[in-house]
């Protein structure tokens, strides 16, 4: 998702980088960087940690027989709904005030993440099964 956001979505939308992952981490952990560099590092670390959770969710779905498009759809629906609900409950999101563009960017960015996770997982899984 990071590569897609940086090289595709952000140049098209002209949106600045988001610090939503760092905001989330600061809300749930006793971590509060005092420098811009520290906040940027927290943002990247949280971003990648959350990406690993998407991967774990796809692994559970794949193990349950949901692979390919079905797996991507199940993981996206589950993880995206949980993401929006949790961030809203923490006071970090207010989806009722999002514009159509905000919704589109959020949905597309996170769907790309789910799809990439599924494709990479299934590719890695199919390679390990052939051995």
Determine contact, residues 66/72, Cβ cutoff 8 Å.
no
**Mean pLDDT within 15-44:** 96
Q: Examine residue 7 and state whether it is found in any structural domain, yes or no.
A: yes
Task: Tell the residue number behind the tokens 């610090």, with chain if given.
Answer: 19
Q: Examine residue 27 and state whether it is found in any structural domain, yes or no.
A: no
* Distance in angstroms (rounded) separating the CA atoms of residues 20 and 25: 9
Task: Express each pLDDT in 56-80 by its tens digit.
Answer: 999 999 999 999 999 999 999 999 9
CA dihedral 101, 106, 109, 111 (to 10 degrees): -110
pLDDT classification of 128: cutoffs 50, 70, 90: low
**pLDDT confidence of residue 72:** 97
Q: Examine residue 26 and state whether it is found in any structural domain, yes or no.
A: no
CA dihedral 71, 73, 75, 81 (to 10 degrees): -170
Residue ranges making up the domain that contains 8: 2-13+50-130
User: Average model confidence (pLDDT) for the chain?
Assistant: 93
Contacts for 62 with CB less than 8 Å, ≥ 6 apart: 71, 121, 122, 125
Work out how many domains the chain is built from and give that number: 1
Q: Examine residue 99 and state whether it is found in any structural domain, yes or no.
A: yes
Task: Express each pLDDT in 110-122 by its tens digit.
Answer: 999 999 999 999 9
- Total-model pTM: 0.86
Is residue 131 scored above 50 in pLDDT?
no
Is residue 44 scored above 70 in pLDDT?
yes
Orientation of helix 36-63 relative to helix 68-89, angle to 10°: 140
Q: Examine residue 76 and state whether it is found in any structural domain, yes or no.
A: yes
């Amino acid at each position: 998702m990071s590569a897609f956001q940086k090289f595709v979505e952000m140049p098209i939308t002209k949106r600045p980088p988001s610090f939503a992952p760092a905001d989330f981490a600061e809300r749930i952990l006793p971590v509060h960087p005092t420098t811009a560099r520290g906040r940027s590092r927290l943002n990247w670390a949280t971003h990648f940690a959350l990406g690993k959770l998407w991967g774990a969710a796809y692994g559970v779905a794949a193990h349950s027989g949901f692979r390919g498009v079905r797996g991507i759809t199940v993981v996206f629906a589950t993880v995206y709904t949980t993401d929006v609900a949790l961030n809203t409950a923490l006071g970090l999101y207010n989806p009722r005030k999002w514009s159509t563009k905000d919704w589109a960017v959020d949905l597309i960015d996170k769907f790309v993440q789910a799809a990439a996770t599924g494709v990479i997982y299934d590719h890695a899984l199919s390679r390990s099964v052939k051995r």
